[in-house]
A and B are shown apart, each in its own frame.
Chain A
Amino acid sequence: MSESGIDAERRSFNVWALTPSLIVLFAIAVLPAIYLVVTSLTPFQLTNPGSATDFSSPLRNYGLLPGDPRFVNSLLVQAKLSFWSVLFQVLIGMGLALLLNVPSRFVEFARTFFLIPMVLPPIVVAVIWKLIYTPDISPLYYAAQALHFTMPALTSSVDFALTAIVIADTWEWLPFTFLMVLAALQTIPDEYSEAALVDGASKLQIFWYVTLPFIMPILVISGMFRLIDSVKAFPLIFLLTSGGPGTLTEVTNYYAYLLAFDTNEIGYSSAVTVVMLLLVCGISLGLVWMGRRREALA
């Protein structure tokens, strides 16, 4: 077969191999996204026939958003939840990675077990923390009782509910940052810190001036990964607090869920979801741009 014959054959194979996937992705990913935008332009309620095709005031839902205290609150709650859980995940993940960054068969074996919280089904993670936070059967409350200390109800308390979610979310995802930082640590040549040690640097100084600059990019990147994914903390909120007390733990994702599947406000919920999608995409694109810039600099 000639060169051009091979190229043509390849091209036809590529078309044959890619088309089914692209059709499926279009049909079950792109079309729904378009439809979501369409419903966001209507006052769609399942109980109200005709509302799905009522485009008389298409921007009504979006106009309502800034004046909706629950929507504004949900963004703030999400920001708080994301900020604290990402911060803790990065810091504790880094600490764990530093602790486990030793050449040893036992430690290599142990590493796998550190990953367990991250791979567990999210709903099982939520069940585990429900167990920890339920006074009658929780080991935490047993311990408090044994020490004659009265533990407040964590998930229904105004002061602790969001913290309870942050703790559970941090537990679930710190293996991720741990894994990323550990991978970065293992690329640092020992010679650097050895040289610093010979020069009389303290361990803290070595960490600050040698290790930290090396792992800084991965700290930022793994934090960003977690930031994007932190809007998906649905099972924890669903099971632990249901958004309460009041709306103290009601993130945007959960609010959109309640609107669509609890109060049947499909159109308005779609608008909330579209705004949320735009925010996530904005952050993601910012990330890609940062990654590109880093590559250009390297």
Chain B
Amino acid sequence: MSESSLRKATPGRLVAISVTLLILLSPFLWLLQMSFKSNDQILQFPPPLIFTPTLENYISLWHSAFSASFVNSLLSASLSTALALLLGVPAAYALSRWAGRGKHALSFAILVTRMAPPIAFTIPFFLFYRWIGLLDTITGLVLVYTSFNLPLVIWMMQPFFDTIPASLEEAALVDGARTRTVFTKIVLPMVTPGIAATAILCFLYAWNDFFFALILTRTNARTAPVAVVNFMNYEGWEWGKIAAGGSLVMAPVLIFSLAVRRYLVSGLTAGAVKG
């Protein structure tokens, strides 16, 4: 029997799925619609569901310090991604081709550095940065994010290299090519999709970070997630700006996640354990 009579997309089931999705996403949609409301509309009761959307929150963000934090987020996330790939991709290839003993122990040791709760790194990083003057700098953030993303790169990229048959490289090696050349000219072009997916996941991890940025930055290197929280201040909460800022922070995440949804699970579980 090819099509199960138990698993059928009946109209009732499709309605149930749609309703569930709507309920699940309603908190998220509420933030989104609020970002297009004026402050008066936000405080109105009952809340108007149909209203003339305004861009005033986004415009005032553009003219505020928030735009600088957005640039800080972009810079620290992309630089740390580049650095983690530069270091991690060759390492993943070496681990993939390494037949020696200790391969699994080493891979696991690399992963362990990622399992620890961020606070374990924050205290030493904070003290060290304070000492050498890296607090509140993009360089400081890039270093932390690189240390968090490097294990992810190594773990994500290994399976991609594993799928490339060794015979392909051996032919070139027998002809006298250097491994370095084989790696850059033959192997790397074949794993470009894997590199792209890994890069996006690294970018998202750095982009999503709140904890490190909260503690290791003040004003100069403040990132967008921290800036959003700063709209909840003593003079009262600027909900319009909070909603618009939150929406801006999640925009790249939503776009990129759609692009790499196939790799999402392996990327997310690499943070935990692979037995």
Contacts and interface: CB of A to CB of B under 8 A. Distances in A.
Interface of A: 1, 6, 9-10, 12-14, 16-18, 20-22, 24-25, 28-33, 35-36, 39, 96, 99-104, 106-107, 110, 112-124, 127-132, 134, 136-137, 139, 142, 145-146, 171, 176, 179-180, 183, 190-191, 193-194, 197, 203, 206, 224-225, 228-229, 231-232, 234-235, 238-239, 253, 256-257, 260-261, 266, 269-270, 273-274, 276-277, 280-281, 284, 287-292, 294-295
Given A25-B110, A239-B229, A99 B17 contact: yes
Chain A binding surface, main DSSP class:
helix
A131 B121 contact: no
A103 B9 contact: yes
B27 A171 contact: yes
Contacts of B94: 13-14, 17-18
B125 to A, nearest CB: 6
A121 B247 CA distance: 10
B63 interface: no
Contacts of A224: 272-273
B189 to A, nearest CB: 17
A101 B9 CA distance: 9
B123 A269 contact: yes
B207 A121 contact: yes
Given A142-B47, A194-B4, A29 B147 contact: yes
Q: Is the interface of B mostly helix, strand, loop or mixed?
A: helix
B216 to A, nearest CB: 11
Contacts of B119: 234, 253, 256-257, 260, 273, 276
A14 B97 contact: yes
A91 B183 CA distance: 46
Interface string B1-43: 1011111110001101110110011111011001000000011
B45 A142 contact: yes
A179 B268 CA distance: 11
B50 interface: no
A295 B95 CA distance: 22
Given A121-B210, A234-B118, A288-B273, 14 more contacts: A21-B91, A103-B3, A106-B9, A121-B225, A123-B229, A127-B243, A137-B42, A228-B272, A235-B211, A273-B117, A276-B117, A276-B119, A277-B116, A288-B275
A190 B272 contact: no
Contacts of B113: 25, 29-30
B30 A291 contact: no
A110 B117 CA distance: 33
Interface residues of B, number: 103
Nearest to A34: B124
Task: Give the interface centre of A99, A123, A193, A287 by most chain B CB atoms within 10 Å.
Answer: A123
A40 to B, nearest CB: 9
Task: Report which residue of B1, B34, B45, B127 has the largest number of chain A beta carbons within 10 angstroms of its beta carbon.
Answer: B127
B173 A9 contact: yes
B173 A1 contact: yes
Contacts of A256: 119
A137 B43 contact: yes
A197 B5 contact: yes
Contacts of A106: 9, 14
Interface of B: 1, 3-9, 13-14, 16-18, 20-21, 24-28, 30-31, 34, 42-43, 45-47, 87-88, 90-91, 93-95, 97-98, 108, 110, 112-113, 115-128, 143-144, 146-147, 150-151, 154, 170, 173-174, 176, 178-180, 183, 204, 207-208, 210-211, 214-215, 225-226, 228-229, 232, 237, 239, 242-243, 246, 249-250, 253-254, 257-258, 261, 264-265, 268-269, 271-275
A116 B28 contact: yes
A229 B271 contact: yes
A123 B147 contact: no
B244 to A, nearest CB: 11
Contact of A123 (B14, B115, B204, B249): B249
Contact of B28 (A128, A234, A289, A292): A128
Contacts of B174: 1, 6
Nearest to A266: B123
Nearest to B46: A142
B6 A197 contact: yes
B275 A145 contact: no
A33 B98 CA distance: 28
A20 B88 CA distance: 9
Given A25-B113, A25-B147, A32 B45 contact: no
A197 B5 CA distance: 9
A228 B45 contact: no
Chain A CB within 10 Å — which of B42, B90, B123 has the most? B123
